[in-house]
C-alpha cells in the first residue's frame, strides 16, 4: 500500500509548514492567555509564562514547542494522505472531440 503513495509536492509541503507556523502561533496565544488569566486570579501559582517572549525563556520555549509540534503534525498529514485530485492521464489529441 505504501508503494502506491506518491511523494508530496513541494507546494503541499510548503503549505503544511506555513499552516503549522500559523496554528502553532495561535495555540501559543490561546494557552498563554489562559495561563495569564489563571495567574491573575490565583497569584500564588506564579507560572512564569506570558506573551513577552523576548524577556521570558519559558514563553519562547513554549512558542517553539507549539510551532514545532504543529509543523510536525501537518507534515505527517501531508506525508500520509494522498492528493485530493489524482493526476489525469494523458489524452491524445486525436481523441479530443472538436466543437
Residue for grid cell 523576548: 54
**pTM value > 0.75:** no
Residue 91, CA distances (Å) to 7, 84, 94 in order? 23, 21, 8
At 49-73, the pLDDT tens digits run: 666 666 677 778 888 999 999 999 9
For the chain, the structural domain boundaries read 20-79
Cα–Cα distance measured from residue 73 to residue 21, given in angstroms and rounded to the nearest whole number: 11
Q: b/e for 63-75, b at 16 or more Cβ within 10 A?
A: beebbeebbeebb
Q: pLDDT tens for residues 6-45? A: 677 888 889 999 999 999 999 988 988 888 787 777 776 6
Amino acid at each position: 500500500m505504501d508503494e502506491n503513495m506518491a511523494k508530496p509536492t513541494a507546494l503541499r509541503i510548503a503549505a503544511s509548514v506555513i499552516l503549522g507556523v500559523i496554528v502553532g502561533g495561535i495555540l501559543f496565544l490561546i494557552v498563554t492567555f489562559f495561563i495569564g488569566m489563571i495567574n491573575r486570579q490565583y497569584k500564588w501559582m506564579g507560572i512564569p509564562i506570558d506573551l513577552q517572549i523576548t524577556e521570558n525563556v519559558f514563553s519562547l520555549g513554549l512558542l517553539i514547542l507549539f510551532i514545532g509540534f504543529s509543523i510536525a503534525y501537518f507534515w505527517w498529514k501531508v506525508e500520509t494522505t494522498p492528493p485530493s485530485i489524482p493526476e489525469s492521464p494523458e489524452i491524445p489529441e486525436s481523441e479530443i472531440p472538436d466543437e
